[in-house]
Amino acid sequence: MEELLHKKRRLTSFQIIILGFAGVILFGAILLMLPISSKSSMITPFHEALFTATSAVCVTGLVVQDTATYWSAFGQVVIIILIQIGGLGVVTVAASFALLSGRKISLMQRSTMQEAIAAPKVGGIVRLTYFILKATVLFELLGALAMMPVFCRDFGIKGVWMSFFHSISAFCNAGFDLMGSPDSLFPSLTAYIGDPVINITIMLLIIIGGIGFLTWEDIYTHRQHFKRYRMQSKVILLTTALLIAVPAAFFFFYDFADMPIGERILSSFFQSVTPRTAGYNTANLAAMTGAGQAIMIMLMLIGGSPGSTAGGMKTTTLAVLFANALAIFRRKDDAQFFGRRIDGNTVKNAATILIMYLTLFFGGALVISVAEDLPLSSCLYETASAVGTVGLTLGITPELSILSQGILIILMFLGRVGGLTLIYAALSGSNKNLSKLPQEKITVG
């Protein structure tokens, strides 16, 4: 990673981010292939190790082997380290080691860090990185301590490890779990559907990890003075609240109407929070209605917020598109938030991101459906989970062929690094053409 950060003239910030993620994934896959990584002490096939490493670094949670029953303690440690690196961002982790070792961070490295955490400017990036590290350690530690009494009650001393594993996995929006059972394939947290401690702790960790590092800073700096927040933080908090409350209400009155009231409330909120983009579940997803699954697919595609541990299109993308539509309905020239005008290029980027995610989501599902002879609806659920880096599944992923698993690997990678990052990395060397073609109107709508 250090070599990548020093290739100033050859690599752009976007290319460093792409190669950084790819390098960590490949190294993680090699470690997971080792006999010491599996409980059977057998070499894990490369495609399965690569799938698991990609899912961990891209904080997705889709798996082809159950994390608890297949991987050894060493393998589980490798997975949680990959999750932590992927959640914070490869560049942020590498720069953090440099900062902690006392080395100076060059301007190019600061610029790369800025792109990695979606900071608005290079100034103050080192201070922000320190803040991210401290906050991450604090939240993950508090989450582990909150869950420890429950897990230690159920699993003894092993509960300590499970508490830290699930706290890191939830905060990084990864969705990996250690609840493997011979009676249930990938049960996730279904055994704790009515446990308020586990449900509330996991939900809080997911939300905190998914709202973005800059939003944390605003909350920490300005506390209850909401008017002083950045416009982006206001949009993120408002959009996040709506994306939790509205689906939760639907699930409460429709999908989980037959549950006892306590489980009904917890399940409704949990399944509203976890699709963006954590991947845990307490309810049986396959038993949910078609409408409920469709809502979860939309939530998976939206994902978390910029500069967070989450993936997906991002809450701000959705908000910008809605604001632009509202501006058009009201015959205004520009989209607006909280008395501020949105730049036209931001609207173009949001529209591009939407098209890219929908193309990847539907195109990937179509190929898998044809290749595996599976219903398109089930494949759409899996590809939404992959490109949104969620990890929820209807149970078909482990049975897919190498081709289909390869498609999910690509979707997970693109979903984590971001579509625009990939485009900018590929086209960074091309010259900008200042000439313009003749203009002609075309009717839309």
End-to-end CA distance of the chain: 48
Tokens at 243, concatenated: 């994306």
| Cα distance between residue 196 and residue 81, in whole Å | 28
- The structural domains of the chain, with segments of one domain joined by +, span 2-425
* 358 has a pLDDT exceeding 70: yes
Task: Specify the pTM.
Answer: 0.87
Q: How confident is the model at residue 425 (pLDDT cuts 50, 70, 90)?
A: low
| Cα distance between residue 180 and residue 176, in whole Å | 11
To the nearest whole number, what is the mean pLDDT of the chain? Answer: 85
Three-state DSSP at 205 gives helix
Q: What pLDDT score does 7 carry?
A: 46
Q: What pLDDT score does 94 carry?
A: 67
Three-state DSSP at 181 gives strand
* 427 has a pLDDT exceeding 80: no
Helix axes 213-222, 125-155, angle to 10 degrees: 100
- Please return the burial class of 430, using the count of CB atoms within 10 Å of its CB with bins 0-12, 13-18 and 19+: exposed
Q: How confident is the model over 368-405, as pLDDT tens digits?
A: 999 999 999 889 999 999 998 888 888 888 888 999 99
- Please return the burial class of 257, using the count of CB atoms within 10 Å of its CB with bins 0-12, 13-18 and 19+: exposed
Q: Is pLDDT larger for residue 278 or for residue 162?
A: 162
Q: What pLDDT score does 101 carry?
A: 64
